[in-house]
Copies of this chain bind each other. A is one copy, B any other.
Amino acid sequence: MSRKIFIDASLGRKTPYTPIWLMRQAGRYLSEYMEVRNRAGSFLDLCHSPELSAEVTLQPVDILGVDAAILFSDILVVPNEMGMELEFIKGVGPKFPKPLTSDRDLENLDMSASEKLGYVYKTIEIVRNRLADDKALIGFSGSPWTLATYMIEGQGSKTYARIKKILYSDPAYLHALLEKLTIVITQYLEKQILSGVDAVQIFDSWASALEKETFFEFSWRYMVKISESLKEKYPNIPIILFPKGVGSYLDGIYGNFDVFGVDWGTPIELAKEKLGDRYILQGNLEPTRLYSKEAIKSGVTHIIETMQNRRHIFNLGHGMLPDLDRENAKYLVNLVREMSSRY
């Protein structure tokens, strides 16, 4: 048993209670985060500052008492360091003003990007030094598919028209891009591991943009490829894969990784039935339940009674929202600890 309950749970060891962390736990719902965010200048300035990124990474551990910190950064720093200009526009979100269109654009992508992300590795080193021994630090990356979608669409999309056109009319182009991203992301996560993270999570936020067959061909296989490269070299580093919105596709989930992230649209009992024997499950409280203590209590009860503090890491089924109440988040953390420790 390690001193880090999160790591023990991720590797399938019995723990005294179910560890908990919250996706987007370092975020706008915390006034302490907003203070640092405003001090930093732009959002990208915050990502580029190891000192300030470390500060916001640590805030939720101190404030909420969660069992793991997750590196503060943004998934889009990777395409940015691959040479794509990136803007964060207030009220609109991130934007690549020059999305990928040509073969030339693909060739011009900088494959040494992982070497240019030193500010991320520095953040990890600072957090590592300051984080209590019993708390874990999670590194992360976007998945190849999710990053490719941003790089081709240029920004968030409702219909994914540009990338879907390419997917169906020129799949070789898309596969070439996904291969490149797979290489860069593998190097990026390896460097995060060497800098001191205890585990890594790959976020496939736009998995649900794909139907079953195309999800496995254009997203999942690349996530598994990254995971298997890392597991070969670092078998004791837990790997969490989180493809959001694929509850109908669980029959096809396979591969060498440790933890499957369950979104809130996938009933936890369904995930347990389909995947619970093979993977540790992470999730999956509906985030808006944090609007009400009663809704937290009934949601937590259902999840804890289903998982019974076995092969489970508690989390939300999606990220924290800016208008959620920090006191309710604290209540959640304490409730999970208390209820799960009975098993």
Q: Cβ of A291 < 8 Å from any Cβ of B?
A: yes
Q: Which residue of B lies closest to A270 (CB)?
A: B248
Q: Cβ of A294 < 8 Å from any Cβ of B?
A: yes
A1→B103 CA distance, assembly (Å): 56
Q: Cβ of A247 < 8 Å from any Cβ of B?
A: yes
Q: Cβ of A179 < 8 Å from any Cβ of B?
A: no
Q: Known contacts A247-B248, A249-B267, A265-B248: does B211 contact A164 (CB below 8 Å)?
A: no
Q: Cβ of A323 < 8 Å from any Cβ of B?
A: yes
Residues of B within 8 A of A167 (CB): 288
**How near does chain B come to A159, taking the closest CB pair, in angstroms?**
6
Binding site for B on A (CB under 8 A): 159-161, 164-165, 167-169, 208, 211-214, 245, 247-249, 251, 264-267, 270, 286, 288-289, 291-292, 294-295, 302, 317, 321, 323
Question: Which secondary structure characterizes the binding site on chain A?
Answer: helix
- Which of B169, B288, B289 makes the CB contact (< 8 A) with A291? B169
A288 touches B161 (CB 8 A): yes
The 8 closest A-B pairs by CB, nearest first: A247-B248, A164-B288, A168-B295, A168-B292, A211-B286, A212-B267, A165-B291, A169-B292
Give 10 A-B pairs besides A208-B265, A211-B264, A212-B267 with Cβ atoms closer than 8 angstroms.
A160-B288, A161-B288, A164-B288, A165-B288, A167-B288, A168-B292, A169-B291, A169-B292, A248-B270, A251-B270
A161 touches B294 (CB 8 A): no
A161→B266 CA distance, assembly (Å): 20
A208→B245 CA distance, assembly (Å): 10
Residues of B within 8 A of A264 (CB): 211
